[in-house]
Structure 1
Amino acid sequence: MDALLERARAGLRRVAPAEAAALQAGGGLLVDIRYAALRERDGTIPGALIVERNELEWRLDPTGAHRVPQATGRDLDVVVVCNEGYASSLAAVSLRQLGLHRATDLIGGFQAWRTAGLPVQEQAGQPAPPGGTAGSRREAGP
């Protein structure tokens, strides 16, 4: 798995949280692929599109019948966000294979975004974590 991840990342120019925020501010699309339990526990990035991993390619293919309105073309800046930056690398490669040549992922995932002090929207009914952070729970993988 480590070798697969290394090969996937070799073809990406991954972005840090501040650059992801700048891309979003400039019209790029942040796509949160974390599963619901993580979003409920930790919150979400304001303005990020929520698309769980198993639907990602169908929703972001700009020529597909099941695409979201935000999937406007192959030149769209797309930053895939997972919990800690592992699954998002593989997902970004998959989007590139669909022709979204600007797809990349967020180094360190949602946890790095939050640690950088960037905005996080708490989920309805979710108590704010003590000290503004929640304990880290890893996705499958390192």
Structure 2
Amino acid sequence: MPVDINELVAAAQSRIREVEPGDCLAGEALVVDVREPAEFAQGHLPGAVNLPRGVLEFQIRAHPAVACRTAGSPAPASLPLLLYCLTGGRSALAADSLRQLGFEDVRSLAGGLRAWRNAGLPVSMD
């Protein structure tokens, strides 16, 4: 039986770890914005890299930010990742996909960029 998108996101959220905006470990994790490039250009978390949801699973291991952080260390699967989108749905699905691909330390930002902004946290335009 088909499910709707809300059920799909809820199922993914039950299998992943979500973190609240105030609890993010920005310095420890590679922050990945899974929105489209045009959305990223309108504002993003400071230090985030843009890897859209549509290509994330195909490009994550080859992305320069991943290669840079894992040089001389264990495989990229052990790299802490914090994923986010606008409201948390796409990032939950993306975190679940990466978990299935063997990434061990993946988190999704609960409520996404909208919750981040509502918490009064900084947004970068660079």
Same fold (TM over 0.5): yes
Among the aligned pairs, what percent are the same residue? Answer: 38
Letter in 1 for 2:64: V
Structure 1 pair 5–114 and aligned structure 2 pair: CA distance change class (3 A): same
CA distance in 2, matches of 1:4, 1:44: 25
Q: Which residue of 1 aligns with 2:55?
A: 55
Query: Could you tell me which of 8, 11, 24 is aligned with 1:7?
Result: 11
CA distance in 1, matches of 2:65, 2:39: 25
Query: How far is the alpha carbon of 1:46 from its aligned partner?
Result: 1.2
TM-score, reference length from structure 1? 0.73
Q: Which residue of 2 aligns with 1:30?
A: 31
In structure 1, runs of 5+ residues without a counterpart are: 124-142
Q: Which residue of 2 aligns with 1:107?
A: 110
Superposed CA deviations along residues 57-106 of structure 1, whole A, max 9, x for unmatched, are 12323xxxx33342522121111110111111000001111111211210
CA distance in 2, matches of 1:116, 1:101: 28
Letter in 2 for 1:38: E
Letter in 2 for 1:81: Y
- Tell me, what secondary structure is at the counterpart of 2:82? strand
Q: Is 1:93–1:104's contact at 8 Å kept on the other side of the alignment?
A: no
- Tell me, what secondary structure is at the counterpart of 1:120? coil
- Greater fraction helix: 2
Flag the structure with more relative contact order, 1 or 2, with Cα contacts below 8 A and sequence separation at least 6. Answer: 2
Kindly report the root-mean-square deviation, in angstroms, between the aligned alpha carbons of the 2 structures.
1.6
- Greater fraction strand: 2
In structure 2, runs of 5+ residues without a counterpart are: 71-75
TM-score, reference length from structure 2? 0.81
